[in-house]
Structure 1
Amino acid sequence: MSQDSSEREEWSTRVAFILAAVGSAVGLGNIWRFPFITGENGGAGFLLVYLVFIVVVGFPAILVEFVIGRHTERNPVGAMQEIGRGAWQYVGWVFVVATFVIMSYYSVIAGWTIRYTVLGLQDGYMADIDAAASQFGQLSSGLEAMALHGLFLVGIVAIVGLGIRQGIELAVKLMVPAIIAIVLGLAAWASTLSGASEGYSFYLEPDFGRIAAQWTTILPDAAGQAFFTLSLGFGIMITYASYIDEDRNLAEDGAIIIGFDTAIAVLVGLIVFPILFTAGVDPGEPGPGAIFVSLSAAFGDLSLGWLAGTVFFGTVIIAALSSAISLTEVVVSYAVDEHGMDRLRATVFVCAALFVLGLAPAYDIVLLSLYDGLMNGILLLLGGLLISVYVSWLWSGPAVEELGAGIGDLGPLGPTWIWLVRVPVVIVIVVSLWLGIVDYVDFLTGDFADWLSDL
């Protein structure tokens, strides 16, 4: 039995909604994923393409999710069942499934951040890159990784189970300002390091020749990162927008959220790359474990690196938690809205299922890459593509009307937004989705096939 929308909680203030959305965006996507994706793709060139995608794709796409959520006051599944026709009614399942799987390995990575924070307080970090890689190999999988994965999920239950105002809202009001303050402090400290100028050059001076030569990898990675960091394609912004009032200016709120998220992502780069170049560590180290291997080696080579590392990885824990509560809320809101489950019971049930599903990526990092490549490189973009097509081509009238609520006369903004979604947003997602599929097939026939043969 579904829950009546009149019984649903709402954000107490506009600031609470913005902080929650910023907290969702400013998570592992910015602090874990952004540095290694940027490093893999050559630094400044990737940053430039990423910033273009944030404006051209990210802003119009976030408004798509906002208008669906506020109009329906439902989770992604219920929202698309309300506004969709025919097969479009089932699009919401793409979001819930993708978000559920992503959260299962996201909590594994969050568990790594807990271990690396404790590591700084105990034995410190390995200065040798090979030793750091070996250490990561031991800490990133096995029983300890599974236990920390479970511990992180217990924290999620404690927050999400309390509801919107008493749980999520209170948490983000503490976490988001703390993240911003610590990141600013770390960026100021990193600017004093000997490798700061070299790091800034790598990060801020684009090589256009490299962009042209590597566009087939830069394009999908930049589009995927734009979606990942803004929590697009997860259904998070649909869910969060379902808890807001009609009098909000969605365009203004979206711009503020994107501005904060992008600023923090850029600041993280201003921390990470000076540290790496100061320690002489290759910023292009590939893979999901890159930030743990490269940065821990760099911290191990710096004076008081244990302290800087503890603060940095502690910040990552906070950021991971702020994003994880939003990922979990998508699935929990489905259980509450569509099946009338008690919120705490639904949260416990969802997190227990997440723990079971996350045991595989906690067992071996290759399985984490298997999950991530399919979810982040394909399903996330597929969900974004489907709702972008539906809203801009089949539901544009109600969408523009919903966007105008709280703004007034949109003037040319409404048609401009719709055509941005219809053309550049859809084209970029289609190309990126195709390249993501190709990349995933390469992974399946390469690294994953090798892993299977070694079993």
Structure 2
Amino acid sequence: MADRETWATRPGFVLAAIGSAVGLGNLWQFPFKTATNGGAAFVVFYLLAVALIGFPAMLAEFVLGRRTHVNAVDAFERLGHRQWRAVGALAVLTGFWILSYYNVVGGWVLRYVLGSARGAYFGDPAGYFGAVSAGPEAVLAQALFLALVVGIVSLGVEDGIETATKLMVPSILLLMVALAVWVTTLPGAGAGYDFFLSPDLGEMVANAGSIIPFAVGQAFFTLSLGMAIMVTYSSYVGGDDNLVVDGGAIVVTNTLVGVLAGLVVFPILLTIGAEITTESGGAGALFVATAAGFGSVPFGRLFGVVFFGVVLIAALSSAISLLEVTVAYANDNYDVPRTVLAPVIGVGLFVLGLPSAWDTGWLTWFDSVAYQLFLPLSVLATTIFVGWVLGADAVAELREGTGGLGAGGSAWLWTLRVVVVVAVLATLALGINELFLVEDGAFFAPF
């Protein structure tokens, strides 16, 4: 096994974890899922999911990683529970699955940064998306984005991931704040804020069954849970770090960026009179609508470059964390340098992502399987292990570096055991129903 790296600094770990969380999950998925799942009603369920399920589950993954200092698969064996290795394998598989189509969307973003600079999509936003989102051009863009990700991860934990995210995360925050200030000047800002921030109680109650799985899935996706990322990143952490404080900083910053994304996107969409309903969804809906918005407002070309530039930075910060999961597993088990492992794994990701790059119907299917099946199942299994099998040892690990949690440790443990487990079980059941049973009784398919 190759020598294992660590973070150079505690802020390096926090920024890397924030960078993982603050990615396309916030800047693409969050507005997309909000627009297609009830607007502000979705936001309410999402915020509840982050606070009641996401944060406790994140601490569970932190505990698992720091206590073992190995990858997500071998962590269970190191704790004396080899039979639970399948849980870690599921998390690694989930991350690999998500990254395969995440790279495709990253390729879209690359094209939109260039397209914004040239004003290429202003005349026909829908036609431009159709040209860049599927087929040979999308395959090439996917390969270019993936090459950037592989290059960063090949440099290592400290020189590659930590250095990159120290630059990326502050840039994302500053640029998103600047964009949020700019959109206040748009004529559709008020309507956009209303759609995003004013929930309809009746709609929340009536559509809770269909909204909740996506809200909880969004919480998992945007907090990088269920993909072995937080287990992997925390395995590089020392015992004196306060996991509760670090986790809180990650959750708060991640949620802030998601809210900022909504405050930027929806005023733009309402300014141009875009339809943002459950019927207007689709993986590329917000690319098309946002591009149309930049083509219709003053200084649209400049702000288009800034917006899609931010999305690109965020996409890279998350993609490197997803790739690091598989690289960490291989690096822990085989005497092969990461400069070889990252490109080899990258080839596998490229092949798995080809269907998503060739047709957006497949990308939507891959995304639905991840949200409604893999993510909740992975989080559920990890939570059961940490809460019910590791138990008191998990509380002891969480207390390291905190100066003592008092009764808070027991409260966290029982939150995992009862609140999180029950909530994720319900979410998984609703998600499976949504995924496999459609109105005519047929099984869900990409087309």
Question: Which TM bucket (shorter chain)?
Answer: over 0.9
Alpha-carbon displacement from aligned partner over 1:371-391 (angstroms, at most 9, x marks no partner): 111122211111100010111
Matches within 5 A, 1:43-442: 43-83=39-79, 85=81, 87-126=83-122, 131-284=124-277, 285-442=280-437
Contact 1:20 1:168 (8 Å CA) reproduced: yes
Distance 2:141 2:121 in 1: 19
Alpha-carbon displacement from aligned partner over 1:66-116 (angstroms, at most 9, x marks no partner): 000000101111112222536322211001111111111100000000111
Alpha-carbon displacement from aligned partner over 1:349-382 (angstroms, at most 9, x marks no partner): 1111111111111011111122111122211111
Q: Once superposed, which parts of structure 1, at least 4 consecutive aligned residues long, lie more than 3 Å away?
A: 442-447
Distance 1:80 1:150 in 2: 34
Letter in 1 for 2:436: V
- 2:17 equivalent to 1:21: yes
Letter in 2 for 1:148: A
Deviation (angstroms), 1:447: 6.8
SS in structure 2 at match of 1:232 = coil
Alpha-carbon displacement from aligned partner over 1:250-306 (angstroms, at most 9, x marks no partner): 001000110100011001111001111111112233121121111112222222222
Distance 1:296 1:142 in 2: 20
SS in structure 2 at match of 1:94 = helix
Distance 1:185 1:227 in 2: 27
Most deviating of 417-426 and 435-444: 435-444
Letter in 2 for 1:358: G
Alpha-carbon displacement from aligned partner over 1:301-326 (angstroms, at most 9, x marks no partner): 22222222121111111000000000
Alpha-carbon displacement from aligned partner over 1:221-246 (angstroms, at most 9, x marks no partner): 11000000000001100000000100
Distance 1:213 1:301 in 2: 36
Letter in 2 for 1:93: A
- Please give the TM-score of this superposition, normalised by the length of structure 2: 0.96
- Please give the TM-score of this superposition, normalised by the length of structure 1: 0.95
Question: 5+ residue gaps in structure 1?
Answer: none
Letter in 2 for 1:138: A
Contact 2:435 2:444 (8 Å CA) reproduced: no
Contact 2:100 2:353 (8 Å CA) reproduced: yes
Letter in 2 for 1:336: N
Among candidates 24, 28, 36, match of residue 32 of structure 1: 28
Deviation (angstroms), 1:410: 1.9
Distance 1:197 1:124 in 2: 29
Contact 1:69 1:76 (8 Å CA) reproduced: yes
> C-alpha root-mean-square deviation of aligned residues, in Å?
1.5
Contact 2:331 2:337 (8 Å CA) reproduced: yes
What percentage of residue pairs aligned between the two structures are identical?
46
Letter in 2 for 1:352: V
Alpha-carbon displacement from aligned partner over 1:430-450 (angstroms, at most 9, x marks no partner): 11111111222146947737x
Contact 1:81 1:90 (8 Å CA) reproduced: no
Distance 2:182 2:64 in 1: 42
Distance 2:410 2:335 in 1: 38
Alpha-carbon displacement from aligned partner over 1:190-234 (angstroms, at most 9, x marks no partner): 111111111111111111110001101211011000000000001
SS in structure 1 at match of 2:187 = coil
Contact 1:35 1:272 (8 Å CA) reproduced: yes
Distance 1:153 1:84 in 2: 36
Deviation (angstroms), 1:42: 2.0
Distance 2:200 2:47 in 1: 15
Quick one: structure 1 residues 299 and 442, their matched pair in 2 at CA, closer, same or farther if it must change by over 3 Å?
farther
Quick one: structure 1 residues 338 and 253, their matched pair in 2 at CA, closer, same or farther if it must change by over 3 Å?
same
Distance 1:381 1:368 in 2: 19
Distance 1:84 1:273 in 2: 50
Distance 1:368 1:202 in 2: 27
Deviation (angstroms), 1:405: 0.8
SS in structure 1 at match of 2:369 = helix
Distance 2:217 2:134 in 1: 26
